[in-house]
Amino acid sequence: MECKDVLKVLAEYSDGALSDSISSEVANHISGCNTCGKELSILNATWKLLDSYKVIKPSHIFKKRVMSEINISNQRSKKMLRLVRFAVPLAAAAAVLVAVFFMSINGDNNEMLTPDEIAIVENPDILAEDDTAYEMADILDFIEDDELFETVDMLIDLEGEGS
């Protein structure tokens, strides 16, 4: 065994928690390696020093406070988990709805046109083939120029004079 391997399992070796085969390999290495032997001595001295300290028993009130804080922390974690569990799918659904909304606004508006209108938009030469289309265009221009309203007003005035 190499030093790096021994140092990884030195605490378990000191506690006697290693299998017999690995424990004997570590023992063989330590017997020939001063560095790992010193590390084992330091580790054992540390445990001995810790064992010499008096164990302090916490008061009943201290235990209650600690357990209360743990419970509060767990409740906060559960609330956050619930929030995340519902917030993420809701945010995704909202994003999809917003995307669908904008696609419907900015999308292809052909569904608002009749098939004849689509054909005219795609092929304007159709208008040249049909005289009624030009007549319709003239009527629309007439209406847009307010000439229709002036003519209707004039006819009403003439009719009123004739009665």
Position 111 scores a pLDDT of 55
Kindly state the average pLDDT of the residues 64-85. 86
Position 30 scores a pLDDT of 94
Residue given tokens 């070796």 in the structure block = 13
User: Is the pTM here over 0.75, yes or no?
Assistant: no
Position 3 scores a pLDDT of 94
The tens digit of pLDDT for each residue in 101-151 reads 887 776 555 456 677 777 766 776 666 655 666 666 666 666 656 666 677
